[in-house]
Amino acid sequence: MGPSKIMIIRHAEKPGTYGANEFGGINLLGSSDKESLITLGWERAGGIANLFSPTNGQFQNAELATPAFIYAANPASTENKEPSQRPYQTISALAAKLNITANTSFGKSQYKHIDGMVASVLAQSGTVLIAWQHEDIWQGPGQDSIVNEILKKTGTISFSNLPTQAWPGSRYDMVFVLDRPGGTGVFTAFIQVPQMLLAGDSSALFQ
């Protein structure tokens, strides 16, 4: 049996300009780190813990589920720059809450190899959560991406409701959900679930 549900999120907010203010990254100890989340991103990471493992047992959207496995891009992988801590930081509170060790074996570009991240995910069962950089999650139909690699490796043709454009660079607040209730064969549904965790999060789906 393979995964019956794969949920994919972008890492939380990175250093940059938000509104009229410039924000720098900080690590877990509060020290400046340009490869870490900003304070707003750490807030989202805390919200994500409850989004996928609600304390009251009530998911805010019926398409979400608590993951049995969590994947995040390797925080030690240099890949032409300093190691990005953000995908792992984004799921760190959730992993701790669930007492799950996240799989960080794969660098951010190592998702489409025959023995890469997507192949590893498809060897699991139940529900899997992936946290990655948005450029690799979705670039549009026919483009190299984690979503298209999942579809290709499972023989899933496509979905009419897939966005036609790449994941917007300004959006950190979406969950992509791929479902196949039986856990084998093609995936049967693609759903976008807005996180709606922080002020300013949008309910608008990607187009």
- Specify if 204 maps to a domain: no
Tell me if 82 is assigned to some domain: yes
**β strands within 116-199, DSSP E:** 126-132, 174-179, 189-194
Residue 158 covered by a domain:
yes
Split into its structural domains, the chain has a count of 1
* Kind and range of the H or E run holding 93: helix 86-98
Query: Is 58 part of a structural domain of the chain?
Result: yes
Taking a C-beta distance cutoff of 8 angstroms, is the pair 6, 128 a contact? yes
Q: Are 94 and 53 in contact (CB under 8 A)?
A: yes
Residue-wise pLDDT for 75-133, tens only, equals 987 775 667 899 999 999 999 999 999 999 999 899 998 899 999 999 999 999 999 99
- Residues with Cβ within 8 Å of 41's Cβ and at least 6 positions away in sequence, in order, are 11, 12, 13, 14, 25, 86, 89, 90, 172
Question: For residue 114, is it within any domain?
Answer: yes
Q: What is the mean pLDDT of residues 166-178?
A: 98
**199 in a structural domain:** no
Residues of the chain with pLDDT > 90: what percent? 92
Average pLDDT, integer, range 54-80? 92
Is residue 77 one of the residues assigned to a domain?
yes
- Could you list the residue range(s) of the whole structural domain that residue 36 is in? 3-194
Average pLDDT over residues 55-75: 96
Q: Average pLDDT of the chain?
A: 95
Grouping H, G, I as helix, E, B as strand and the rest as coil, residue 162 is coil
pLDDT at res. 80:
56
Residue 200 lies in a domain: no
Contacts of 157 by beta carbon, 8 Å cutoff, 6+ apart:
151, 186
pLDDT at residue 82, as a whole number: 67
Q: The domain spanning residue 9 has which CATH number?
A: 3.40.50
pTM for the whole structure: 0.96
